Amino acid sequence: MGLTYIPNIQFAPFYVAAELGYFSDEGLAVTLRHHGASESLFGALASGEEDVVNAGADEMLQAYAADVPVVTTGVMYQEYPVVLIVPEDSPIESLADMEGQSIGLPGPYGENWFWLLAAIDEAGLAEEDVAIEFIGYTQQAALMGGTVDGVVGFANNDVLNFGRSGVEVRSLTADVPLVGISVGALEETVETRGEDLAALNRALARAMEFILADPAAAVDASFDYIPELTGAGAYEATLETLEATMALYGDTPLAVEAELWPTMYEFMVSRGLAEPGTDPSRAVTTALVP
């Protein structure tokens, strides 16, 4: 099971399912693997080192269109997690107010970038109407230092970091044609190991229900998987992050709305985020949802 980058409570469903035996209850032997920071998001999946990956459904669709046939098998975040973050006293009150303002984000890739392009469309603006700055993962320093007027970040992570630093900010959302953090596997794996993938989804859905019922217990169950949980104030901050993440789960863990994929693909192709000529319905399945 491929998880991106640094261990974090945002991956709690995987930690909880492993720690509480939900995977083994389904007859699965699951190894959790965090990617290296410089590693390709789908490289280990494509090479066979991983069987399943945790990533944005939009990122999977982008990969599918680029001949890495990864299929979304369950959607973990029913709400898209990205927002525009501005200082509390910012004149940016709506997405349309981005016109002429400098907006920072890590770079022209991933969910932050997808969201910003969709938000610009929703605001009725053109990309050139906004002063887009690629600032790496320095959103907090850039906004606090006045280098940019706003930053794009995650509601269950970046927004909270500002609050912990005593910086008052506001978040602006957008109704974007995108689907966020999900689980997926290669087409071949879906075809040959569908029962295993369905069992994995059942274990993850069970873990998500556990988290929703008792987030503090979920943090406790994740303790051995997150080294920084031992630091001062880390437990409280971790619980806050988990509670913000829970708000993204929706009412039905892992539910998939396959009808969203054609609209998402049309948008991604229109903005040069995905290659044309792909049938987006092949990049998603509802058959494995619990």
Mean pLDDT of 126-151: 95
Query: Helix H segments across 99-213?
Result: 110-122, 139-144, 158-164, 187-192, 194-213
pLDDT of res. 233 = 82
Quickly tell me which residue has 């459904």 as its tokens. 57
Instruction: Write the CA distances from 249 to 21, 133, 246, 287, integer angstroms.
Output: 21, 31, 5, 19
pLDDT digits (tens, 9 = 90+) for 220-235: 999 999 887 777 788 8
Nearest-5° Cα angle at 249, 246 to 254:
140
pLDDT of res. 19 = 97
Mean pLDDT of 235-263: 95
Q: Is the dihedral of CA 139, 144, 145, 151 positive or negative?
A: positive
pLDDT digits (tens, 9 = 90+) for 157-215: 999 999 998 999 999 999 999 999 999 999 999 999 999 999 999 999 999 999 999 99
The answer to whether position 289 is within a domain reads no
Pair (136, 230) in one structural domain? no
Q: Domain of 254: which CATH number?
A: 3.40.190.10
The answer to whether position 290 is within a domain reads no
Nearest-5° Cα angle at 198, 197 to 200:
60
Tell me what the pLDDT averaged over the chain comes to. Answer: 95
Q: How confident is the model at residue 217 (pLDDT cuts 50, 70, 90)?
A: very high
Choosing from 145, 172, 199, the residue where a domain stops is 172
pLDDT digits (tens, 9 = 90+) for 10-26: 999 999 999 999 999 99
Quickly tell me which residue has 């494509």 as its tokens. 46
Which range marks the domain in which residue 61 is found? Answer: 2-79+179-283
Pair (185, 167) in one structural domain? no
Pair (155, 188) in one structural domain? no
pTM of the model: 0.93
Total number of domains in the chain:
2
Question: In this structure, what token pair is assigned to residue 84?
Answer: 């525009």
